[in-house]
Amino acid sequence: MDMNDFVLVSVDDHLVEPPDMFEGHIPDRYKDDVPKLIQRADGTDAWVFEGQEATNVGLNAVAGRPPDEYGAEPTKLSEIREGCYNIHERIRDMNANGVAASLNFPSYPQFCGQYFARARDKDLGLAVLRAYNDWHIDEWCGTYPGRMIPQSLPPIWDPQLMADEVVRTAKKGCHAVTFSENPTKLDYPSLHDPHWDPFWQACSDTNTIVNLHIGSSSSVVITSVDAPVDTMMTLQPMSIVQAAADLIWSPTLRRFPDLTFALSEGGIGWVPYFLERIDRVYTMHRAWTHQNFGDRLPSEVFLDRIALCFIDDDFGVQSRDKLNLDMVTWECDYPHSDSTWPVAPESLALYLDGVSDADVNRITHENALRLYDFDMFRHLPKDQLTVGALRAQATDVDLGFRSSERLKKTGTDTVTVLDLAKGLPT
C-alpha cells in the first residue's frame, strides 16, 4: 500500500492540559478550589491543588525541539509546542503528520488520576476528576468530532466510584479508561485482588477497554542511580511484561470474559517469546500451581484479550504470524521524545513494506476503531482521512525546530538517572 493511502489512528499520544480547562465543567461550589496553573519564582509553571504541586506540566513534551534539548523538561507552557495544549493546533499537527485520529493520555494528573486521588477532600477530588473527564470528552475530543478518541480517568481510591464513572462516561461516548500497570506501587491492591471487581464489571458491561500505560505505576525502571538514562529508556517499554504476566495469571481475564486490556506503549517484539514462556509454565507446572484455563492455553487467552501497540518495531512486525493481528495497533506518542512526529507515515512505511493491504488496514486503523468503539467514519469520509489528504490541509504548519537556550544541554558527560532527577523541579 502506498504510504499516502494509510489511514493512521494512534492509540497512544499525550496532551498537556491548558490553564482554563475547568471553566464551565466544575460545580459552582468548587470553582475556587480547582487545580490552578501558577508560575514559580524561577519562571517554571506548576499546577497547584490543595497546596500540592504537580511538577509535570509538560513532562517530556519535546515535539519540535532539537534532539540535544530532549529531557524531562520542558516545565512551562511557553516552551511547549502549542499542539500539546491547544486542540486547534493539535489537529493541525496531526494533519501535518497524516494522523487521522488520536487517543490522548493525561499529563499533570498522572496516568491514573493519582494527583486527584491525593485530595484530602475526597468529594472535591471526585468533582475535579469528573470535571477533567467532561473537559476531555466534551472539549478536547468534542471540538473536532471523529478526530480524538475519548479516554477517562478513574477515581482510583474507590472501585465502586470507578465503576460509576465508567458507566457515566460511557453514556457520553467514552469507551476507554486509563489504569495502572501495577497498582501496588501506588499503595492499592494488586491486579490479582478482587478489590477491583466492580470496576472490571463496569468496563465489561460498557465495552470499555482498560489501558495500562508504561509508567502508570508512577515508577520507572532504575537499575542504579548512576546508570546512564539510556538504561532506563531501554527497559521502560520492556517492563510492561510484568503487567502482562500479572494479567494472564490473575483470575481477572477468566472471570470477566468480555473484558479487554491494552498494553500502551509496550511494543510487540517481546510478545512471541512471552507467549512461548507462559505456555511452558502452564504445561509444566499447573499440576501444583493449580492454574486452570480449561481447554485453552494461556497464550490463546492473551492473544484474544490483550491489545498491543507499537511505534517502531521491525522485529515485532516481522513476527506478526505469532500474534493476533486483530489486536495489534499503532501509536505515534506525540509529543514525547520517542514520537515519530512529524514523519510517522515514512517511519511506519519502512516496517509495513511487504505487509498485505488488509493487514496494513488492521494495524493502522481498523483494530483501533473496533477496540475503542470509535466510529470515526460516521463524522468524516475515509478519503478525507488518508495521510495524503490530511497533509494537503497542513502545508502551512511550521515543522522546523524551535530551540530554547534554557533547555540547551551543555557538556559531553553521560547523563545518568540521578542527573535526570536533579533536572526536575521539586
Does residue 416 surpass a pLDDT of 70?
no
Using CA atoms of 15, 18, 20, 22 in order, give the dihedral in degrees to the nearest 10.
Answer: 30
Task: State phi, psi for 63 to the nearest 5 degrees.
Answer: -55, 130
CA dist 268 and 271 (Å) reads: 6
Q: What is the mean pLDDT of residues 373-399?
A: 97
Given this model, what pLDDT does residue 425 score? Answer: 37
Does residue 424 surpass a pLDDT of 60?
no
Structure-block grid coordinates of residue 24: 464551565
Given this model, what pLDDT does residue 265 score? Answer: 93
Does residue 291 surpass a pLDDT of 90?
yes
Does residue 426 surpass a pLDDT of 70?
no
Looking up cell 542527573 gives 419
Q: What is the mean pLDDT of residues 38-55?
A: 88
pLDDT band at 408 (very low <50, low <70, confident <90, very high): low
Question: Which amino acid appears at position 133 of this protein?
Answer: N
117 CB-contact burial (10 Å; exposed 0-12 / middle 13-18 / buried 19+): buried
Given this model, what pLDDT does residue 401 score? Answer: 73
SS3 content of the chain, % helix, strand, coil (to 5): 40, 10, 45
The whole domain housing 381 covers: 3-395+403-422
Q: Please state the domain count of the chain.
A: 1
Q: What is the mean pLDDT of residues 12-29?
A: 96
Given this model, what pLDDT does residue 78 score? Answer: 85
Given this model, what pLDDT does residue 217 score? Answer: 84
Given this model, what pLDDT does residue 237 score? Answer: 76
Given this model, what pLDDT does residue 390 score? Answer: 98
Given this model, what pLDDT does residue 212 score? Answer: 97
CA dist 45 and 58 (Å) reads: 9
CA dist 137 and 140 (Å) reads: 6
Given this model, what pLDDT does residue 417 score? Answer: 52
Does residue 238 surpass a pLDDT of 80?
no
Cα 138–141–145 angle (5° rounding)? Answer: 100
State the chain's mean pLDDT as an integer: 91
Given this model, what pLDDT does residue 229 score? Answer: 80
Sequence-distant (6+) residues with CB within 8 A of 267 are 237, 238, 240, 308, 309, 310, 311, 313, 316
CATH number at residue 272: 3.20.20.140
